């Protein structure tokens, strides 16, 4: 297949030039050199997030059929949310060229880190329907996650991991280890498909569609993109001297059978914070804590991978 001849008039490219300490900008430059025809496509740079959201929405209603994201998990989250907010845009296929620090969702899609190879994979891939998570606080506050909703220590980390620090390799792991020095377990009530499932203190609650989050933590090794269910993982409090060893198990993905871990699959998860729990994390972004419902939306997003 001649990838330089791919139909581009209905393609929108979203570039995050700051992703991965400038890797987003470098990836776009490499793609232009390899495929000069890409200069004909419509491009949005997400320097200003609010402006980028509006520009994406305007473009999506202008016969766009393919949206290619050059960036990390945050850039993918931004693009997916703009598509999912407008259900009539199901025709639009989303592609990812990973250029972020973590790129956790790219792991599940098995996308290569090289932007040329990733672009070739997008061009040759059959569109695939995948599930997403809808997070509802109230009728006026609805967000979507393609990968993970989490609470506990991840909320603390996402609040404290900002600025240049987040761009450094291993930043999430280092900040998590730092968090455990002062972090106190938070209390939550978790209801699975309408039935009480867990109530009490926890270090981490993760509701996922993807297998990885937190720059490589293999939190849900049994995750599937299109089975109509989310993975729910709760990690109970433990002695601080055990934390480094058990955190290692979370990164390796061999923790589901551990006595301090609760795991199940669900269609709907309701989370009720019983105290201040440092906020929630949605696809790597920090948000305030409040009672929420997380629903699995089967086959709601079209992915090129």
* Confidence grade of residue 238 (pLDDT, cut at 50, 70, 90): confident
Element (H, E) at 138: strand 127-138
Top mean pLDDT of 149-153, 212-216, 298-302 is at 298-302
Task: Check if the beta carbon of residue 201 is closer than 8 Å to that of residue 236.
Answer: yes
Task: Check if the beta carbon of residue 83 is closer than 8 Å to that of residue 93.
Answer: no
pLDDT, residue 222, reads 95
The size of the chain, in residues, is 305
pLDDT digits (tens, 9 = 90+) for 243-282: 777 878 888 899 999 999 999 999 999 999 988 767 898 9
Cα 41 to its chain centre, rounded Å, is: 26
Q: CB neighbours of 26 closer than 8 A, spacing ≥ 6? A: 99
pLDDT digits (tens, 9 = 90+) for 2-13: 444 455 678 899
Least confident of 24-28, 170-174, 254-258: 170-174
pLDDT, residue 4, reads 43
Instruction: Mark out the alpha helices in the chain (DSSP H runs).
Output: 23-34, 49-60, 73-84, 104-109, 115-124, 153-160, 171-182, 243-252
Mean pLDDT score across all residues of the chain: 86
Q: Could you give the C-alpha distances from 114 to 39, 71, 119, 212, in angstroms and in order?
A: 19, 12, 9, 20
pLDDT, residue 265, reads 98
**For residue 223, pLDDT beyond 80:** yes
Q: Quickly list DSSP for 190-223.
A: EEETTEEEEEEEESEEEEESSS-BTTTB---TT-
pLDDT, residue 18, reads 79
pLDDT, residue 187, reads 92
Q: Quickly list DSSP for 240-258.
A: GGGHHHHHHHHHHT--TTS
Q: Which residues pair with 144 in a beta bridge?
A: 134
Mean pLDDT of 203-228: 92
**For residue 1, pLDDT beyond 60:** no
CA distance 54 to 50: 7
pLDDT digits (tens, 9 = 90+) for 44-63: 988 777 888 889 988 888 88
* Confidence grade of residue 170 (pLDDT, cut at 50, 70, 90): low
Mean pLDDT of 136-148: 91
Task: Check if the beta carbon of residue 12 is closer than 8 Å to that of residue 68.
Answer: yes
Task: Check if the beta carbon of residue 221 is closer than 8 Å to that of residue 251.
Answer: no
For the beta carbon of residue 240, count every other beta carbon within 10 angstroms.
Answer: 10
pLDDT, residue 267, reads 98
Mean pLDDT of 132-147: 92
**Terminus-to-terminus CA distance in the chain, angstroms?**
16
Residue 28 burial class via C-beta count within 10 angstroms: exposed 0-12, middle 13-18, buried 19 and up: buried
Q: What's phi and psi for 273, nearest 5 deg? A: -65, 130
**For residue 137, pLDDT beyond 70:** yes
CA distance 278 to 290: 11
pLDDT, residue 2, reads 46
Q: Which residue has the higher pLDDT, 192 or 63?
A: 192
Percent of the chain with pLDDT over 90: 49
* Confidence grade of residue 207 (pLDDT, cut at 50, 70, 90): very high
Residue 244 burial class via C-beta count within 10 angstroms: exposed 0-12, middle 13-18, buried 19 and up: exposed
Q: Could you give the C-alpha distances from 2 to 7, 34, 43, 163, 286, in angstroms and in order?
A: 11, 12, 21, 40, 41
Domains, the chain: 3-125 (3.40.50.10330), 141-299 (2.60.200.40)
Q: Which residue has the higher pLDDT, 80 or 61?
A: 80
């Amino acid at each position: 297949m001649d990838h330089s001849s791919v139909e581009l008039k209905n393609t929108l490219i979203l570039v995050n030039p700051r992703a991965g300490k400038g890797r987003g900008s470098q990836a776009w430059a490499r793609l232009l050199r390899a495929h000069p025809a890409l200069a004909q496509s419509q491009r949005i740079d997400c320097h200003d997030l609010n402006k980028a959201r509006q520009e994406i929405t305007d473009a999506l209603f202008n016969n766009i059929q393919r949206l290619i994201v050059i960036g990390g998990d945050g850039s993918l989250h931004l693009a997916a949310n703009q598509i999912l907010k407008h259900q009539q845009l199901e025709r639009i296929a989303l592609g990812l060229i990973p250029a972020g620090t973590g790129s956790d969702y790219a792991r599940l899609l098995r996308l290569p880190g090289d932007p040329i190879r990733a672009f070739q994979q997008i061009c040759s891939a059959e569109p695939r329907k995948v599930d997403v998570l809808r997070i509802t606080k109230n009728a006026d506050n609805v967000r979507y996650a393609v990968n993970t909703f989490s609470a506990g220590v991840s909320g603390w980390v996402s609040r404290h991991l900002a600025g240049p620090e987040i761009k450094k390799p291993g930043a999430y792991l280092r900040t998590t280890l730092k968090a455990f020095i002062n972090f106190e377990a938070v209390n939550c009530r978790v209801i699975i498909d309408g039935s009480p499932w867990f109530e009490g203190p926890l270090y981490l609650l993760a509701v996922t569609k993807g297998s990885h989050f937190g720059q490589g933590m293999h939190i849900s090794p049994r995750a599937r993109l299109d089975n109509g269910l989310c993975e729910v993982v709760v990690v109970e409090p433990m002695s601080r001297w055990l934390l480094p060893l058990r955190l290692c198990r979370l990164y390796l993905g061999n923790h589901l059978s551990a006595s301090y871990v609760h795991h199940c699959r669900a269609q709907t998860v309701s989370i009720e914070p019983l105290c201040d729990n440092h906020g929630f994390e949605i696809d790597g972004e920090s948000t305030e804590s409040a009672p929420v419902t997380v629903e699995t939306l089967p086959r709601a997003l079209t992915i090129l991978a």
